[in-house]
Amino acid sequence: MASAVAISILLLSSSALAAVSAVPYLNVLTLSRQSGAVPGRSDEEVRILYLEWRAKHRHSQKSLDLDEYRFEVFKENLRFVDEHNTAANRGEHTFRLGMNQFADLTNEEYRARFLRDFSRIRRSTPQNISSRYRLREGDDLPDSIDWRQKGAVAVVKNQGNCGMLIMPLMVSIGSCWAFSAIAAVEGINQIVTGNLISLSEEELVDCTIDNHGCSGGWMNVAFQFIINNGGINSEENYPYTGQNGICNTTKENAHVVSIDSYQNVPSNDEKSLQKTVANQPVSVTVDAVGRDFQLYDSGIFTGSCNISSNHAMTIVGYGTENGKDYWIVKNSWGVTWGESGYIRMERNIANSTGKCGIARFASYPVKIGASLHNNPAAVPLLPLPLRLPSSSLLPLAITTAPAPAAPHAAASTSRTIAASFGSSVRSRVPPAATTTSAAVPKTTHKNSPLRVKALTHCCHSQLGFNWLRWSQ
């Protein structure tokens, strides 16, 4: 005979309720489930599946009463997964679901534990909307790119239960913003330097005072912290603890990677977002409240969602499969979720905000020195102003002129770039290139801290000189 299973959580304080604003009605949650057989599976099979799942995902759980409740939730999620995957086998879906680490959570519990309404998080930094990667006529973007294959993506990490834990619901909200920002910084640093260094999310959680630690935050605020701090430490030196901690100023002042600025991708513009991802990994927010997102396993996600921003991830590539475009998105829920920690999300949909609002609030760090060795599209525009004391600068005009044609030579776009300090280099530049300007030190005396090294790797499909290289 079917029996009802119910559970309630204790009333939360008003401050705790504010922290769990993703689901404000959770002060009293009553769940009722009618237990029963899972279609197509015997009771013994379901029990064995649950015990195997529990041994893998909940090995520290000891409460028998809670276990019975969790078993009922597990069974209900198993029904949902089986129904979805049966439809996927008929070609009705492009993605499959699985019994991942969230399989014993109701959707309400999952939302309370891992999601945060970004509209409730104050942003104290300027928006810095940039046209740097806005798609322009004549742009030729690669059909696909995967920064994992280019060595610019660190291993998938797990944000865990960052924040307060209220049993049995285990509300925590999370630090996804820190993982999203760090993945983007790790990516651009590898693209520029060739070194992939796993960086410290814990430093952002502990030390970024304009964000809210385990209670949420914005990635561009994290970028601004790294800029103001002069850099960020490695994960090895400042490891993740999964809780709000006191900022370790000694570790905070140890910098292994720095960035120079950050920019926001133009909102609701998937083409500009694609161009940005063709150059580097990008931090994004999405709506992740759906049950099919919670239990996502593989394939191109086309499930139900809206455009609310309640979870942060990092786009690390894009591609096309069977005629359907997708984003490759790195999550911070460990390798047991999705495609070894990643999700492929539908791309180029009719809604300008992108799937689940992925194109609404995209941002990326900027690091001077991006070169062509990874991606021909990765040459950024000349950064102005450069970080030099104004007393040591003078204007520099850079002009281009057609290079003399060699007898019987094939047509070429090679031009001579003449600089006012008396040197010139020959480089490939577009025929339409004209004039730009920058600044150089007034002296290259041996005691001067900076000197001009070279103009290198110029240019790409638009007029976009690579950085003037400064060195000791």
* Mean pLDDT of successive 10-residue stretches along the chain, which has 472 residues: 36 36 35 62 92 85 69 96 98 98 95 81 59 76 97 97 54 81 99 97 94 90 96 97 92 94 94 96 97 98 94 98 98 98 98 96 90 39 36 36 38 33 32 39 38 33 32 32
- Residue that finishes a domain, picked among 366, 398, 428: 366
Residue 112 lies inside a defined structural domain of this protein: no
Kindly state whether residues 316 and 275 are assigned to the same domain.
yes
Helices (H) and strands (E) in the chain, counts: 10, 17
Residue 403 identity: A
Kindly state whether residues 95 and 124 are assigned to the same domain.
no
Whichever domain contains 37, its CATH number is: 1.10.287.2250
CA 455-460-464 angle, 5° bins: 60
- Residue that finishes a domain, picked among 106, 138, 160: 106
Q: How far apart are CA 321 and CA 199, in angstroms?
A: 32
- Residue that finishes a domain, picked among 72, 106, 140: 106
Kindly state whether residues 156 and 195 are assigned to the same domain.
yes
Residue 458 lies inside a defined structural domain of this protein: yes
| Catalytic residue flag (residue 247) | no
Contact by Cβ (8 Å): 203, 249 = no
- The secondary element (H helix, E strand) that includes residue 436 is strand 435-441
Residue 337 lies inside a defined structural domain of this protein: yes
As a whole number of angstroms, the longest Cα–Cα distance in the chain is 94
Active-site residue identified among 162, 176, 458, 459: 176
Residue 371 lies inside a defined structural domain of this protein: no
Nearest to 168 by CA among 78, 79, 310, 58: 58
State pTM to two decimals.
0.72
Nearest to 62 by CA among 154, 153, 168: 168
Residue 374 lies inside a defined structural domain of this protein: no
Kindly state whether residues 29 and 169 are assigned to the same domain.
no
Kindly state whether residues 341 and 427 are assigned to the same domain.
no
Nearest to 372 by CA among 256, 461, 259, 263: 461
Q: Both tokens of residue 406?
A: 């060699």
Kindly state whether residues 200 and 340 are assigned to the same domain.
yes
Q: How far apart are CA 265 and CA 352, in angstroms?
A: 13
Kindly state whether residues 341 and 403 are assigned to the same domain.
no
**Domain enclosing residue 101, as ranges:** 4-106
Whichever domain contains 162, its CATH number is: 3.90.70.10
If one counts the domains in the chain, the total is 3
Residue 373 lies inside a defined structural domain of this protein: no
The b/e string for 346-377 (b: 16+ C-beta within 10 A; e otherwise) is bbebeeebbbbbbbbbbbbbbbbbbbeebbeb
DSSP 428: E
Helix, strand or coil, per DSSP, at residue 113: helix
Kindly state whether residues 314 and 362 are assigned to the same domain.
yes
- The secondary element (H helix, E strand) that includes residue 291 is helix 291-294
Q: What is the pLDDT of residue 173?
A: 61
| Catalytic residue flag (residue 214) | no
CA torsion, points 121, 123, 128, 131, in degrees to nearest 10?
A: 10
Half-sphere exposure in the Cβ direction for 208 (13 Å, CA): 34
Strands (E), 322-429: 324-330, 342-346, 363-366, 393-402, 414-419, 424-428
| Catalytic residue flag (residue 59) | no
* Sign of the torsion formed by the C-alpha atoms of 439, 128, 263 and 19: positive
Contact by Cβ (8 Å): 398, 417 = yes
Kindly state whether residues 211 and 306 are assigned to the same domain.
yes
Q: How far apart are CA 459 and CA 463, in angstroms?
A: 7
Contact by Cβ (8 Å): 176, 157 = no
Active-site residue identified among 107, 158, 264, 331: 331
Kindly state whether residues 408 and 295 are assigned to the same domain.
no
DSSP 63: -
DSSP 283: E
Kindly state whether residues 360 and 386 are assigned to the same domain.
no
Quickly count: other Cβ atoms within 10 Å of residue 319's Cβ: 17
Residue 185 lies inside a defined structural domain of this protein: yes
Kindly state whether residues 67 and 199 are assigned to the same domain.
no
- Please return the burial class of 406, using the count of CB atoms within 10 Å of its CB with bins 0-12, 13-18 and 19+: exposed
Q: What is the pLDDT of residue 445?
A: 38
Residue 315 identity: I
Residue 8 lies inside a defined structural domain of this protein: yes
